[in-house]
Amino acid sequence: MEPAEHAYASQRFLQAEAILRTGNFANGFAEYEWRLKVPGTAGGIPPDDWPRWFGQPMPNRRLLIFCDQGRGDIIQFARYIPWVADRCPDLAVCCPGEMWPIVRQFPRIRVLTQHWYEAGDCAAYVPIGSLPFVVGTRLDTIPTPIPYLRANPELAAAWRVRLDPFFPVGTLRVGLVWAGNPTHYNDRNRSIALSALYPLTNLPGVGFVSLQLGDARSQFQGFFPGGPFVDAGPQIQSFNDTMAILEGLDLTIAVDTSIVHLAGAMGRPAWVLLPHLADWRWLEGGHTSPWYPTLRLFRQPEPGAWAPVVERLAAELQRM
């Protein structure tokens, strides 16, 4: 594509997100297909001459689901895999290896690979982010078979034993994630400094388990919470560990990153800190999510205003 075509595709993609934010999924998901024409949004996607799948039954040919987006998107749209498998029982999924603990929870997948060209003889493919469009999802028809992800019971029990000594009996155990992937286009708006959450960590009867990964963990330096605070990050080896920890928490508080999708898909309670202009999947307003019934949304009242959000969180925690 020429640069002008790239710019046009980017404009249509932004338009799609604006439409989806209003809850108009019929038009929004059709426009959302333009993301596949924006450079860098679907790296490693099969070539243009591969047939696209649009929902027709393929009982005797293999279909490839290509995970074209980030971790949170994969978790969010994985709920459609059983619908696809009903129509295409010979199913392959291509996704990053770190997502395999998620995808493996859907037992009808025959092939799991990190590269589309290793999926075998596929008759067609569909990007996972296109499944709401293929299914014809509307705001009131979002599949919510919650939970559709579950922690390994033995690993969850092991994490409870590991964390028990840090929390007195009766302590509210709260997971905490304050920063997402710094390469995300909107990370400067969606992430928050750990220091801004300091008021939460001094509430009586509340203890925290940090699930934070990456460079943001360095913010622990000079941070002195008043109550129990355990940094689980160095011991988290995969999403299996993260799911096991979430299973043993009373609540998770996090910015808009994959953790909230994971908690929502597991049916675990989570409070989501959202910037004033939130991602399309959280819609324009409201405090609940049609994608994840167990989530509560805490929105900035104006751009950059995290302090009122933290005040609300503290007040709500004290009521629990």
Q: Which of 2-6, 198-202, 287-291 has the highest mean pLDDT?
A: 287-291
Least confident of 37-41, 149-153, 245-249, 261-265: 37-41
pLDDT tier, 186 (very low <50, low <70, confident <90, very high otherwise)? confident
For residue 43, pLDDT over 70 is answered with no
d(CA 52, CA 284): 31
For residue 185, pLDDT over 90 is answered with no
53: which 2 tokens?
């799948």
Mean pLDDT of 210-226: 90
Q: Residue 177: its pLDDT value, please?
A: 97
Q: What percent of the chain has pLDDT over 90?
A: 85
Mean pLDDT of the chain: 94
Q: Residue 140: its pLDDT value, please?
A: 95
Alpha helices (H) along the chain: 3-21, 25-32, 71-77, 81-87, 100-103, 131-135, 153-163, 187-190, 239-247, 258-266, 307-319
Specify the CATH number of the domain 153-319.
Answer: 3.40.50.2000
Q: Residue 42: its pLDDT value, please?
A: 63
Q: Residue 138: its pLDDT value, please?
A: 97
Name the residue with tokens 């920890």: 245
Q: Residue 44: its pLDDT value, please?
A: 76
75: which 2 tokens?
């978790």
For residue 68, pLDDT over 70 is answered with yes
Q: Residue 146: its pLDDT value, please?
A: 96
Q: Residue 40: its pLDDT value, please?
A: 72
Beta bridge partners of 206: 172
Mean pLDDT of 233-250: 97
pLDDT tier, 241 (very low <50, low <70, confident <90, very high otherwise)? very high
Beta bridge partners of 52: 125
Q: Within 13 Å and on the Cβ side, how many CA atoms surround 143?
A: 18
d(CA 178, CA 217): 9
For residue 223, pLDDT over 60 is answered with yes
pLDDT tier, 104 (very low <50, low <70, confident <90, very high otherwise)? very high
CB 106 within 8 A of CB 9: no
CB 175 within 8 A of CB 259: yes
pLDDT tier, 65 (very low <50, low <70, confident <90, very high otherwise)? very high
Predicted TM-score (pTM) of the model is 0.95
Mean pLDDT of 274-284: 96
Residue type, 117: Y
Q: Residue 276: its pLDDT value, please?
A: 95
Largest Cα separation within the chain, whole Å, is 63
pLDDT tier, 131 (very low <50, low <70, confident <90, very high otherwise)? very high
Mean pLDDT of 266-283: 97
Mean pLDDT of 6-21: 94
Beta bridge partners of 180: none
Residue of higher predicted confidence among 234 and 180: 234
